[in-house]
Chains A and B, each alone.
Chain A
Amino acid sequence: MTAVPGPPARTSVIRDSLGVGVAVGAYGFAFGAASVAAGLSVAQTCLLSLFAFTGGTQFAVVGVVAGGGSFGAALGSGLLLASRNTLYAMRLAPLLQVRGARRLLAALGTIDESTAMAIGQREPRLSRVAFWWTFGGVFVFWNLSTLLGAAGTSALGDPNKFGLDAVIPAAFLALLAPRLRSGAIERRVAVGGAVIAAVLIPLTPPGVPVLASCAALLLSVAVREARP
């Protein structure tokens, strides 16, 4: 570890950041396909990737639409998932020191990957490099792969013939897996959320099972905090 990271540190940060972007591209294909299968047009799908630009939320919104959920359930699930970006932004603000137009652009790029790469650096200068290059890499590959996935699915016809209905839950599981590996509380919350959703599927309108599992989590945290 060097005291003053020179150009090699910067180069390796850029390389890692672009690598993250390429890896995320695969999720973009799945999102594009899932979104068109849910009934969104290719244009609507691409607009979500360009300007909502936060994968978990986009998957959740089209997942609820695909299941026949209401407008409120789809938007509610999506924005609940997006709320973590607010906390990311608060952590990034002192690191990035952005103002004006650059702040408006930095806000768009505030996602899981760019935040993880930025806060993982040893000094603010490298954090800024990691943030902007990860944002750029993910943005390019996420949007290209969304377009290909969406256009490909709308050309292929019935997506379930190609097993898309099995791909979507498997994709959500892949997004969930790293969090399951990070702790026992995460695993308990996941089991709780899964059970609540399964029980509510036949009892409530589509979309509600997903929101209810989040509400149960909020309630359990509140109860735990209230205990002496």
Chain B
Amino acid sequence: MNLWALVLATIAGCYLLKLAGYLVPARVLDHPRTRRVVELLPVALLAALVVVEALANGRHLEFDGPRLAGFAVGAVAVWRRAPFLVVVVAAGLTAALLRLT
């Protein structure tokens, strides 16, 4: 894949989506259903990304011990409302230590 093209397309797309909100009259898109979808899209997307990043290796489901253990420890930290930095360090450290053994 051409990563430069992807980076530039992402930058252009993100900026134009932001700018569009300032240029169109509010009533064009500010429909309750539109707003609902836009609120819920990140939920569906992030949930799918959690699963893919935890379980996928290309087109295969992969149950990698250290990765899953690190993720589980991170999940507990999220559940306990730990700060983001704690979540990240706990997850990474767990996986890294398990790989040393």
Which positions in A face B, CB cutoff 8 Å? 23, 26-27, 29-30, 39-41, 44, 47-48, 51-54, 56-61, 63, 65-68, 70-71, 74-75, 77-90, 92-94, 98, 103-104, 106-108, 110, 160-177, 179-180, 185-186, 189-194, 196-198, 201-202, 204-206, 209-210, 212-214, 216-218, 221, 225
Contacts and interface: CB of A to CB of B under 8 A. Distances in A.
A84 B1 contact: no
Given A163-B91, A194-B50, A173 B75 contact: yes
A201 B61 contact: yes
Nearest to A47: B7
B43 A190 contact: yes
Nearest to A159: B92
Given A79-B14, A85-B18, A214 B75 contact: no
10 contacts: A41-B3, A52-B15, A71-B6, A75-B10, A80-B41, A86-B29, A87-B30, A92-B22, A198-B51, A213-B47
B4 A44 contact: yes
Q: Helix, strand, loop or mixed for chain B's interface?
A: helix
Interface in B26-56: 26, 29-30, 33-56
Contact of B58 (A59, A67, A172, A221): A67
Contact of A202 (B24, B33, B34, B59): B59
A84 B10 CA distance: 15
Given A82-B14, A87-B34, A170-B90, 7 more contacts: A29-B88, A51-B15, A56-B46, A81-B42, A84-B42, A107-B18, A172-B46
**Across the A-B interface, the 3 shortest Cβ-Cβ residue pairs:** A89-B21, A166-B70, A170-B74
Contacts of A163: 66-67, 70, 91-96, 99
Contact of A90 (B29, B67, B77, B84): B29
Given A179-B42, A214-B41, A71 B14 contact: no
B51 A221 contact: no
B37 A169 contact: no
A103 B99 CA distance: 50
A26 B85 contact: yes
Interface residues of B, number: 77
B7 to A, nearest CB: 5
A79 B17 contact: yes
A40 B3 contact: yes
Contact of B94 (A166, A168, A180): A166
Given A52-B10, A71-B2, A93-B26, A177 B78 contact: yes
Contacts of B3: 39-41, 44, 65
A169 B44 contact: no
Contacts of B9: 75
Contact of B41 (A54, A192, A217): A217
Given A167-B74, A214-B44, A48 B7 contact: yes
A67 B59 CA distance: 9
A83 B34 CA distance: 11
Nearest to A186: B43
